[in-house]
Amino acid sequence: MSEYLVVRLAEDPAHASWVVLSEQGHRLSQTMNGPLTAAATQADGRNVLLLVPGLDALTTSVQLPVRRQSRVEQMLPYTLEDTVAADVDTLLFAAGSHRADGKIPVAVVARERMETWLEQCAEAGLQADAIYVDVQGVPETPGNLTLLLEGEKIYGRLPEREPFVFVDLDLEDVVDILRTETDPSVHLDNVVIYADDAGYSSHERELERVRDKATIVDVNVLADGLLPRLAATFIAESGSNLLQGPYRPRSNWNELLQPWRTPAILVGALFIAVALVKASLYLSLSREDNALTAMLESGCQAAFATNRLSVCEAEIQDRLATTGDGIASASDSTFLDTLHAVATVRDDETLLQAMSFRDGVTNLRVVAPDVQALDALAQGLGGEGRFQANIQSATPGDSGVEGRLQIAELNP
């Protein structure tokens, strides 16, 4: 199961806060407070979401005739140029996913602030997978005005509207502003309020006046602060990730491929082993083929005074044709049968050096590893009962025993 470490930045990186949530948004730890370096120690094996102050950003929404993310990023600066006061080249425009109504949520921050946040994370050893403006974590409650009270700050959201944040304003004033600026069709009679201890203390008296103006006011004091509530919203529905454009992280292929490294090595080793076996088999068959070819060439040289197999084959075919009805002469038949018998019984270590055939008798000159191998060749040739092989001589040498054999058909 995936886990999320949600870290919230403050102006001072020594006063960050963080919490661990499951992929369903359920809290797995208490909210912790401390330096950003302490939060970084909890990041191993978890998806890291970084929340930056909403007071440093503008949140809005746009409707564009394109859906590709790259095209949206290109059009945002020109679309919102009249909305922002600063030069668009100094700002980062981050687009979220298209909503059901066709609009795209957008967060705008100064590039200078973005780089400051990234530097703080780098110094603390924290690598964020996504960076969101904390105000986008205010939950949208259908049919209700949602307010989050945190110290002197008031976060809020109306149904199907963009979130907002005010500071140093009375809660009653915020509600009055919303009543004035909001479409009359939007009802503000139902108010859901989440507050931390400091926020509740700061606005406790104002809550009574808000209750007088609304039909239902549901107040929830969160002893663990607002971070778990904000974090759960981002896990359920991501906001506008600021890691876009020049801040989009490059793919870390080494890290992505790490889990597959061992299986890839094993598969590669298997392919190498199979290739080696195939190569060994090929070399063995190649040696056998060369040896048989040499034997045939030697036989052809002895019988037809040429070692060209094509000429030898043609000569044999001519002789077979002259016998009538395709029946070979006894002499040619004996030679071919003798040649076949030698090829069958000869082992790999016995080399054929010369072969001659005359008057039904075949003379072989071979080099065998030892006398036993030479005798085994003679015995093998006579084993079928058709030929008699006699060893004429056996002379030891540097390469083995040079033997001369005479092979004759028993019943010509």
Provide the pLDDT for residue 32. Answer: 95
> Is 50:132 a contact under the CB 8 Å cutoff?
yes
Q: How does pLDDT run across 138-157, given as a tens digit for each residue?
A: 999 888 999 999 999 999 99
Provide the pLDDT for residue 355. Answer: 85
CA-to-CA distance for 96 and 62, rounded, in angstroms?
Answer: 10
- Per-residue confidence band for 288, with pLDDT thresholds at 50, 70 and 90: confident
> What ranges in 81-140 are assigned the alpha helix state H?
111-124
What residues does 94 pair with on adjacent strands? 107
Question: Taking 50 as the threshold, does the pLDDT of residue 325 lie above it?
Answer: no
Between 268 and 39, residue with greater pLDDT: 39
Q: Tokens 């986008």 identify what position?
A: 136
Give me 301's structure tokens.
């040289």
- Per-residue confidence band for 65, with pLDDT thresholds at 50, 70 and 90: confident
Question: Taking 70 as the threshold, does the pLDDT of residue 252 lie above it?
Answer: no
CA-to-CA distance for 374 and 381, rounded, in angstroms?
Answer: 11
Amino acid in position 62: V
74-86: average pLDDT: 88
- Per-residue confidence band for 201, with pLDDT thresholds at 50, 70 and 90: very high
Give me 257's structure tokens.
């491929």
End-to-end, the C-alpha distance of the chain in Å comes to 86
Q: What is the chain's mean pLDDT, rounded?
A: 86
Distant-in-sequence, close-in-space partners of 245: CB < 8 Å, separation ≥ 6? 73, 92
Structural domains in the chain, CATH included, are 3-249 (3.30.420.380), 264-409 (3.30.1360.100)
Provide the pLDDT for residue 326. Answer: 44
- Per-residue confidence band for 385, with pLDDT thresholds at 50, 70 and 90: confident
- Per-residue confidence band for 195, with pLDDT thresholds at 50, 70 and 90: very high
- Torsions phi, psi of 348, nearest 5? -65, -25
